[in-house]
């Protein structure tokens, strides 16, 4: 790893840490150390980072804002790449938004509403980055990224920087081609529609009020744990199975929203994973429905 770090520094990448705990970088506040933690500050530094990591055949993982993510207790082998300030921007041109991958999805939703642009209201409560939202086709309130994405720039594992049109992402429910073809979203272009500022503000306020009333957002949670099965709601299935409040170690199924698992203070990744398996087993036996986790699990087991 010392050789890799030396080469990164020679390429101008200087924000590098060894054995960096991942817990402070995730919404769940859980996770062991990453071997190497790199924050490229420019797109060129990101390109150099991927080139060097590939030359050394090291595994890599790109980190957004840390929502929808569970890092294992043993941590992540290889290199974790967190996108720096150069990709934390948003630019409005008529009904188009050019947004860097590191920009907050919630913040962009609010900005779009204030600009009188409709289509991004659904994202006002999704605590992730633009890059993560494009990667997983994030959605809520009956809409999702695939409805508003025009195109996105992606840095692939082979070092190619490619502009992809929406159709090329092969979007489906909470998934895209990037789940099988490794790449890092660097910029997204969103296409919205003209809307009424007052109506948009009312809609966003209603969504926010509902989230605060029904989700344990003041606690350490990563977001929804399971995808909704077809024509069903995961939270309703878990609640009807009587599982609200079930605990494993420091991990607890929220008593407010059954599709959230709360870190009560000392939860480990194994606590969360064990609880997830218990939920899947009980719901599967009771309702003959297989719950599929929406949370990404990363790291050494």
Catalytic residue IDs = 174, 224, 294
Matching residue, tokens 């003959």 = 288
Query: What distance in Å separates the CA atoms of residue 230 and residue 170, rounded to the nearest whole number?
Result: 19
Query: What distance in Å separates the CA atoms of residue 69 and residue 172, rounded to the nearest whole number?
Result: 20
Q: Which of 273, 275, 221, 265 is nearest to 244 (CA)?
A: 275
Rounded-to-10 torsion of CA 151, 156, 162, 167: -40
Kindly state the DSSP code that residue 177 receives in the 8-state scheme: G
Inter-residue contact 11 to 45 (CB < 8 Å) = yes
Inter-residue contact 160 to 47 (CB < 8 Å) = no
Instruction: Tally DSSP H helices, then E strands, for the chain.
Output: 7, 18
Tokens of 211: 């989230």
Query: What distance in Å separates the CA atoms of residue 242 and residue 14, rounded to the nearest whole number?
Result: 51
Collapsed DSSP state (helix, strand, coil) of residue 230 = coil
How many C-beta atoms lie closer than 10 Å to residue 58's C-beta?
15
Interior angle at CA 75, CA 10 and CA 248, nearest 5: 160
Kindly state the DSSP code that residue 227 receives in the 8-state scheme: P
Inter-residue contact 68 to 261 (CB < 8 Å) = no
């Amino acid at each position: 790893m010392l050789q890799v770090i030396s080469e990164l520094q020679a390429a101008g990448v200087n924000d590098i840490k060894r054995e960096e705990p991942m817990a402070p970088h995730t919404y769940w506040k859980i996770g062991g150390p990453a071997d190497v933690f790199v924050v490229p500050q420019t797109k060129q530094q990101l390109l150099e980072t991927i080139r060097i990591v590939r030359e050394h055949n090291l595994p890599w993982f790109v980190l957004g804002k840390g929502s929808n993510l569970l890092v294992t207790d043993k941590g992540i082998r290889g290199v974790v790449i967190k996108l720096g300030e150069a990709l934390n921007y948003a630019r409005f041109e008529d009904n188009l938004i050019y947004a860097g991958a590191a920009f907050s999805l919630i913040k962009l939703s609010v900005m779009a509403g204030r600009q009188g642009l409709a289509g991004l209201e659904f994202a006002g409560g999704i605590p992730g980055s633009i890059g993560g939202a494009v990667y997983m086709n994030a959605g809520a309130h009956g809409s999702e990224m695939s409805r508003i994405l025009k195109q996105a720039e992606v840095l692939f594992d082979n070092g190619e920087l490619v502009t992809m049109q929406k159709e090329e992402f092969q979007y489906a429910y909470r998934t895209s081609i990037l789940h099988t073809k490794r790449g890092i979203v660097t910029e997204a272009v969103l296409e919205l529609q003209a809307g009424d500022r007052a109506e948009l503000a009312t809609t966003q306020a209603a969504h926010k009020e509902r989230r605060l009333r029904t989700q344990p957002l003041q606690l350490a949670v990563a977001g929804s744990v399971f995808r909704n099965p077809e024509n069903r709601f995961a939270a309703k299935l878990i609640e009807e199975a009587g599982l609200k409040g079930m605990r494993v170690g420091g991990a607890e199924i929220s008593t407010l929203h059954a599709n959230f698992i709360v870190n009560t203070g000392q939860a480990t990744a194994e606590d969360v994973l064990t609880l997830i398996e218990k939920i899947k087993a009980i719901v599967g036996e009771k309702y003959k429905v297989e719950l599929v986790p929406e949370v990404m699990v990363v790291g050494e087991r």
